[in-house]
Amino acid sequence: MAKKQFILIMTDSQRRDMISKCNERGEDMHTPSLDHLCEQGLAFQAAYTTQPVCGPARAGLFTGTYPHTNGMLGNCMALSQQSLSIGQRLSRAGIHSAYIGKWHLDGGDYFGDGICPDGWDKDYWYDMRNYLDELESDEDRFRSRNLLTALDGEGVTEEFTYGYRCTQRAIDFIEKHKDEDYFLVVSYDEPHDPFLSPKHFYQPFYEPHLQKPNQHMDTSQLPEHIQVWHEKFLEIQGSRRDGFSVGLLGSNSYIDSQIGRVLKAAEENAEDAFILYTSDHGDAQGSHGIYSKGPAMYEEITNIPLIVKWKDQIEPDITSEMPVSHIDVVPTVLDFYGLPVPKSLEGQSLLNSFTAKDIAEQKEGRPVFVEFNRYEVDHDGWGGFQPVRCVVKGKWKLVINLMTQDELYNLADDYNEMHNLINDPAYETIRNQLHELILDWQNDTRDPLRGYYWEKRPWRKDRQKVSWNCGGYSRSRRREEGEVGEYGYSTGLPITEYNRKY
């Protein structure tokens, strides 16, 4: 009987078109390993993060709940006590689970606390603090955080990088546990800043890449917070960050080589394993006049790679336009192992979609939601509090920028998102339908920021009269099996309805 083995590989800050096979403009991104994985499996063109910043994105990916549900509204905020990771769920079901690499979910600093959380194999735990602690000197620690380390002089060896050391541990796990069921996560920090890699990986990217027309658009027509962000972008052009494109794309090519080593080990020791590859979020790279990631729902920031391979189960070398989300990964993993999917999870299994013969023809699917709350609780910057809620359904994307102006895009006709249709009366019907989807989603998921201000948008003329009671419902959190139940405030009796009028 074939072993149940699932290998999830992810990077940080890799948008979809940073893979050659996923780049519509035909740019060579020097990613042969991921290109080959695309040829072996199914690649989604419309896969989305739950929130485009490191920690909250991982929170959605590894809990199956949105950041506004699991408590990780920004970086350096810990998961709520009620939020279980996929490692906890699987290990309690007897599935050996290991996590190697960047975690970013403990509420500490960027590097983590070096302590293995519940649910994961302590022998393989290796977060970024573990990496820093094993470096030989303070000088090496500083070198590990500075791009110039790699660009100047002889540069760095691959053995010095975090990515290489994660790969070594991943290969060791795959080889030693080839005869058992397991779930393995390999989570690289690369190609995130400081972008370290051996020097030759940077060479192709001294020529411009990721060139798009929306890098040169008139930003005065964009929402106010994007214009403020653009002002910061203009400040840093010509500074150190101006060379970050070379670093990002060189590191992207380098980590592809490390991913290739893991995929080779899997082919040799776990040929029937389910392989899922993704990234936490993208990077604007100057599109819409901004840089990095944050409170913007543009494709360059939210549309991430999602590639799956499963020998004899998933058709090779196919793509799908159906929108999918990180929120569905945990239910999919549970389904893969034949485990029940709790009602507390906010996504659904994609296992049947992955193996469907007509997946390449499916374009609509169900709505996909993306949010933003705050970049990081420690920092004053990055726009501070910037609540955003977004829905993608088929070719349409509606963005509610709560504190500035909203956006509506037809992704089929305007993939570069240069023509905001939010106030165009010709699209009132679809705009309002999408708006209702966002409001219903906020209610269904108990969004703590829900309220009438999301309803009363200037373009929504039939939603101008609002109520202090908003929807007028009390909405309880769905309990996990074994959790203490909830008593009703006015009755003192066990609650039997999760949503009830008050």
Nearest Cα residue to 438 out of 411, 464, 401: 401
Quote the pLDDT of residue 298. 98
Name the active-site residue from 22, 54, 116, 390: 54
Nearest to 113 by CA among 99, 102, 97: 102
pLDDT band at 240 (very low <50, low <70, confident <90, very high): very low
Q: How far is CA 418 from CA 44, 222, 246, in A?
A: 23, 9, 26
Could you please report the per-residue DSSP string of 295-314?
A: S---HHHHEE-EEEE-TTTS
Domain range summary for the chain, segments of one domain joined by +: 5-361, 472-502
Q: Please state, in angstroms and rounded to a whole number, the distance separating the CA atoms of residues 199 and 477.
A: 51
Q: Which of 104, 177, 209, 281 is catalytic?
A: 104
Q: Is 54 a catalytic residue?
A: yes
pLDDT value of position 243: 54
Cα dihedral sign for 395, 215, 15, 316? Answer: positive
pLDDT at 379: 85
What are the structure tokens assigned to 275, written together?
Answer: 């392989």
Q: Which CATH architecture has domain 5-361?
A: 3-Layer(aba) Sandwich (3.40)
What are the phi and psi torsion angles at 405 (to 5°)?
Answer: -110, 150
β-strands 407-410, 396-401: how paired? antiparallel
- DSSP secondary structure of 108-165: S-TT--S-PPTTS-TTT-B-HHHHHHHSSSHHHHHHTT-THHHHSTT---GGGSHHHH
Rg (CA), the chain: 22
22 as an active site residue: the answer is no
Please work out, in degrees rounded to the nearest 5, the angle formed at the alpha carbon of residue 51 by the alpha carbons of 46 and 52. 80
Report pLDDT digits (tens) over 208-218: 999 999 999 99
Q: Do 287 and 397 meet the contact criterion of CB atoms below 8 Å apart?
A: no
Closest by Cα among 5, 37, 21, 44 to 304: 44
Each residue of 410-451: pLDDT tens digit? Answer: 999 999 999 999 999 999 999 999 999 999 999 999 999 999
Q: What is the pLDDT of residue 260?
A: 98
- Per the rule left: phi > 0, alpha: psi between -120 and 50, beta: everything else, 290 is beta
Global pTM reads 0.97
Cα–Cα distance, 47 to 10 (Å, whole number): 14
Mean local confidence (pLDDT), 90-98: 98
Contact between 275 and 309 under an 8 Å Cβ cutoff? The reply is yes
The residue-averaged pLDDT of 139-162 equals 94
Peptide bond into 67 cis (omega under 30): no
Q: What is the largest CA-CA distance in the chain?
A: 72
Structure tokens at 147: 């791009």
What average pLDDT does the chain have?
95
